[in-house]
Amino acid sequence: MQFDCVAEFEFTKDLREKKSELDAVIEQANKTILRKGAKDAREAAQASDWQLSSDGKRLTLRIESGAVVRAHAALIRLRNFLNEQLGPKLKTGIRGLEIKKFEVKGITLKQPALKPIEITCFVEEVKTSGDKASLKLKDLTPALIEDGAVDRIIRLVEDKVEAQNYEGKGEAKKLLWASTKKQAHYEKDPALELEARSWMRRTHAKAQFVFGSQFVALANAFKELLVEDVYVKLGFREMYFPKFEPWAVPQRSGHAKSIYPEAFFVAVPKKSDPAIWAKEMDYFRITGEVLKDEFASKLDFVGIMSYAQCPPFWRFLEGKVVLDESLPLRVFDWSGPTYRNEAGGTQGIARLEEFHRIETLWVGTPEQTKKITTELSDALTVFFNKTLDIEFQKNWITPWFLAQEGKKTLSDKASEGVGTTDFDAWLPYRGTREKSEWLEFQNVSNNGDKYPKAFGVKSASSELWSGCAGGSLERWACAFLAQKGFDKKDWPSAVRDRVELAPELKFA
Ligand code: ATP
Ligand code: ZN
Ligand code: MG
């Protein structure tokens, strides 16, 4: 990889009289700090072609470099060096630094680019040819450079090429286990019957329902049985995770890389002074309409509604070193719904935009995490297979935390157990077992070190890993009712005995 950068330093004083001293300082930089870490001149960075502006206050120079002392690092080193040297020697300092040109050539990609790559900011041009890429960057500031932006831009090119190479391949998927075939007692979409019986009613929002007491009685039976069958046995305790995520959460979890099209954004007034909102108030009084088109400039977009449920937990441990005696930590959360803009299409109670999920989360050493992942996966298998008597399969797939960053591969630590197992149920209303798409109603993941790393959590004596499992009550109910229907005699006894249904509402 070669770097070519042209930068302009602005000084506080006219340096025309001191040109030879300035030359000497740059020569010295070339021999010292721009060489540090390099074996030979080829690996080092080199400042050249420098010129002082006619007023003597600006210096343009070129930095060329190879892959060891990269131009961006060299530029920052040079700035710091000039600052150190120019004060005592020339009685001047640096007032500004502007990057006029920054090119990276000869990037070797792991896979060939299949079509042109576009990067929408900080990049003027990306050229690719087979497994080589070159870049012209723009709008770079010293602060961005110092913060590692150049390397992140190069990584973004690599990621986009990698994504092109998975496109059309579908998610990696491997069948791990299948329950026995079970008798289907029903063949319709249960959402229709749920609405017909007023167990739930569609709201004015897309794919959101008001759930009536009968649906909740069923959901509560699932929850009670889950606690007895799984949580009590395995030592999980309840927490409340926040359901609003300030940007700091998706920034750390990586969801900020790609979540936007699926997010429910949260905005609050920049100022809550009623005078600022006077027009909205009057407009509604007169027209009965909400003047939402004029909101945007008065709002501050502070974050998103909970999307994956577990990320906001991590603030609880962020920046801490957890003692061995507190590990493993085993918790669950069902304190509120999660939200997704399911732009690809919603469906009955199988794909909602507001849904009630049971999130289970564990944190421990790699060994503890692996053990709990297996124990939980096994206990959930018994719970769904025996207690709820659902027909389903388990599949090993792309880990959710990679999928939600737009990737489709298995984890590179899959052999160490890092990855996601989906539980997929047959929905008779969608067609035969063989031809229809099964519904993922639960997953269990070993997330490796991803979350402890992302939130800066450490163990006092070991590497720290975590896992999580998620499934929505709506998808559990969908799988259950789609296979068993609404006649309680066809329900497994554990559920039947626990669900006491209130009389259904009647309307004129
Ligand atoms: P799918 O591919 O079917 O959309 P997903 O991969 O988006 O599922 P995850 O992000 O893994 O699902 O979410 C974990 C669990 O949350 C799922 O197993 C499912 O039970 C539930 N879930 C996800 N999206 C929805 C939804 N839109 N409506 C209801 N439940 C959902
Ligand atoms: Zn999770
Ligand atoms: Mg989804």
- Kindly list the protein residues that place their beta carbon closer than 5 angstroms to ligand 2, a single-atom ion: 310, 468
Whether the pLDDT of residue 488 is over 90: the answer is: yes
Please choose, from the candidates 250, 249, 208, 447, the residue with its C-alpha nearest in 3D space to the C-alpha of residue 339: 208
Residue ranges lining ligand 1, Cβ < 6 Å: 340, 342, 351-352, 355, 357, 400, 440-443, 470-472, 474-475
Domains observed in the chain:
2-166 (3.30.70.1920), 173-244+307-496 (3.30.930.10)
Give me the sign of the Cα torsion angle 140, 145, 147, 150: positive
Position 25: which residue type? V
Calculate how far, in angstroms, residue 478's C-alpha sits from the geometric centre of ligand 3. Answer: 15
Residue with tokens 């992140």: 152
Only one residue has tokens 């429910």, namely 264
The whole-number average pLDDT for the span 243-254 is 97
> Which residue stretches of 91-148 are H helix?
142-146
Position 168 scores a pLDDT of 67
What percent of the chain lies above the pLDDT cut of 90? 90
Q: Would residue 496 show up in a list of annotated catalytic residues for this protein?
A: no
Closest alpha carbon to 114 in 179, 164, 69, 188: 164
CA quadruple 440, 441, 444, 447: dihedral sign: positive
- Dihedral sign computed on CA atoms, order 292, 297, 300, 305: positive
CA separation for the pair 280, 499 (Å, rounded): 47
Ligand of minimum distance to the alpha carbon of 341: 1
Q: How far is CA 157 from the centre of its chain?
A: 18
Longest CA–CA span in the chain (Å) reads 98
315 classed as catalytic: no
Going from the Cα of 404 to the center of ligand 3, the distance in angstroms, rounded, reads: 9
Segment 266-297, tens digit of pLDDT: 999 999 999 999 999 999 999 999 999 888 89
Burial class of residue 214 in the structure, from the number of CB atoms within 10 Å of its CB (0-12 exposed, 13-18 middle, 19+ buried):
buried
Instruction: Please state the pTM of the whole predicted model.
Output: 0.91
**Chain-centroid distance, C-alpha 176:** 26
Q: CA-to-CA distance for 368 and 370, rounded, in angstroms? A: 6
Please, which residues have CB within 8 angstroms of residue 12's CB and are 6 or more apart in sequence?
57, 92, 93, 94, 95
pLDDT per residue over 152-181, tens digit each? Answer: 999 999 999 988 888 766 667 899 999 999
438 and 179 Cβ atoms separated by less than 8 Å: no
Query: Among 437, 443, 481, which is best to mutate for testing ligand 1, by the most ligand atoms less than 8 A from CB?
Result: 443
Q: Could you say which of 30, 395, 443, 446 is catalytic?
A: 443
Residue nearest to atom 3 of ligand 1 (CA): 440
Tell me the pLDDT of the chain averaged across its residues. 95
SS3 of 28-66: the string is HHHHCCCCCCCCCCCCCEEEEEEEECCCCCEEEEEEEEC
**What is the per-residue pLDDT for 166?**
80
Quick one: 397 exposed, middle or buried, by C-beta within 10 A (0-12, 13-18, 19+)? buried
Q: Does 408 or 359 have the greater pLDDT score?
A: 359
- Asked if 98 is an active-site residue, the reply is no
64 tagged catalytic: no
Say how many C-beta atoms besides its own lie within 10 A of residue 196's C-beta.
10
CA-353 nearest atom, ligand 1: 27
Active site residue 351: yes
Terminal CA-CA length for the chain? 76
